[in-house]
Structure 1
Amino acid sequence: MLPLTLLRTAQNHPMLVELKNGETFNGHLVSCDNWMNIHLREVICTSRDGDKFVRINECYIRGSTIKYLRIPDEVIDLVKEEHGKKDNKRPQ
């Protein structure tokens, strides 16, 4: 399972993005590109020390600033199902 495949499957699902500077962004994934740049909507941004919260309609996060992503388990299950279907379609 490739990370970009996982991200593309996660479109329209909620996710948490933590940046290298410690800030976190909780929102719904709109899109991502080949460089893992991410477009989120309905975002809540939390400061690195956790005492400031900002609501943002949408934001764009550069992929090189991302430390990690947290996505729902249901998205991982969807990717596994799709991957299994592709394996079954391959000629033996």
Structure 2
Amino acid sequence: LIFSVFKTLTDQQVTVELKNDLSITGVLKSVDQFLNIRLDNIKVSDESRHPHMMAVKNCFIRGSVVRYVQLPAEHVDTQLLEDATRRGMSCNWQLQSGNR
């Protein structure tokens, strides 16, 4: 589900916060099933702490180092996410009830 949401956001601007507190904003170019992310036209939130990133224009971010991804609210179908979450919770509840 999450993978499909990211696929619909290709060519949209997103902000990725890494586990080392580095935040990178850029245009989402691709994402894979491991949530590895490729961004173009990147900008780092705190250039004084990360001056080596000022010359970088595109980057590949390994999914395991991502803490958060901020998505543009106007491009996310929240109703679809809520419905999928409810279906998943209902399925889990039915599985747990059947094991009793």
Deviation, 1:55, is 5.0
Q: Decide whether the 8 Å contact of 1:45 with 1:55 is kept in 2.
A: no
SS in 1 for 2:20: coil
Structure (1 or 2) with the greater strand fraction? 1
* TM-score, normalisation: structure 1: 0.74
1:19 corresponds in structure 2 to 18
Structure (1 or 2) with the greater helix fraction? 2
Separation of aligned partners in 2, 1:79 and 1:39: 27
Task: Give the root-mean-square deviation of aligned CA atoms.
Answer: 2.2
Identity of matched residues, %: 29
Separation of aligned partners in 1, 2:65 and 2:11: 21
2:59 corresponds in structure 1 to 59
Question: Structure 2 unaligned runs (5+)?
Answer: 84-100
Question: Structure 1 unaligned runs (5+)?
Answer: 84-92
* TM-score, normalisation: structure 2: 0.68
Letter in 2 for 1:5: S
Count of residue pairs the alignment pairs up = 78
Deviation, 1:21, is 0.5
Q: 4+ residue stretches of structure 1 with deviation over 4 A?
A: none
Q: Deviations over 1:43-82 (max 9, x none)?
A: 01234xx6346252210000000000001012213884xx
**Rg larger in structure:** 2
